[in-house]
Amino acid sequence: MKNILMKTFSIPLFFSLFSVSVYSNELQQYGTNEQLPCAGEKRIYPSIAEAIEDFGDYYPENNSFQLISKNPLKIRLSPPAFKEDLPDVKNDLVKRAIVYGVYRTFIHSNSDKVTVTSYLVDANGGKKLNGSPEHTITLDKKQALNIINKYIPVADLSELIDDQCSFTKEFNELRYDDNGKKGFSKFFTELTKQSK
């Protein structure tokens, strides 16, 4: 009976220890050999469509992303929303999508100019939401850099993301400035005025 109990517990224990050892080795190798997802030039994608698909914030399946044209580059980002959402919430969603599209394009692709259109789509069906606010902005990389520098001093737009490709805390504080303390409305107005 004692031998049966030892065999019953020793085999799973052996495999558990072996698995922990293998996992530990993989973690050590990752730390020494692998780069973080957005380290260096890994942040540049062959196209903005591939970048947006990889991030998963907007995608064609729910009609929240559309590549309208490759040359000149034109994209549409349409956050899903409900008709019952408050008007200021709807407007902020559209404006944030514009900012997302402009800055993701310049950070994650070699494009020097982009046109971003945004309007809301119905969260229950993906069709354009009736009465949705709509904005279109066309900017080049230099304009986008000059405008963001008034709010967050950066030498390069890639400084607006971390090594995991997430926007930095400072940039998110500006993008989600619902109470007006960080100047999101002014920032968006400047983007609109610079639009060609």
Distance CA 11, CA 132 (A): 62
The verdict on 27 and 44 lying in the same domain is: no
Distance CA 72, CA 196 (A): 13
Q: What is the pLDDT of residues 3-39, one digit of tens each?
A: 555 555 555 544 444 444 444 444 444 444 455 667 6
The verdict on 87 and 113 lying in the same domain is: yes
The verdict on 10 and 69 lying in the same domain is: no
Q: Could you list the residue range(s) of the whole structural domain that residue 143 is in? A: 40-194
Mean pLDDT of 138-154: 97
Helix (H), strand (E) at residue 66: strand 65-69
Crossing angle between the packed helical segments 184-194 and 87-108, to the nearest 10 degrees: 60
The verdict on 12 and 58 lying in the same domain is: no
User: How high is the pLDDT of residue 38?
Assistant: 73
Q: Compute and round to an integer the Cα radius of gyration of the chain.
A: 23
Q: What is the pLDDT of residues 87-109, one digit of tens each?
A: 999 999 999 999 999 999 999 99
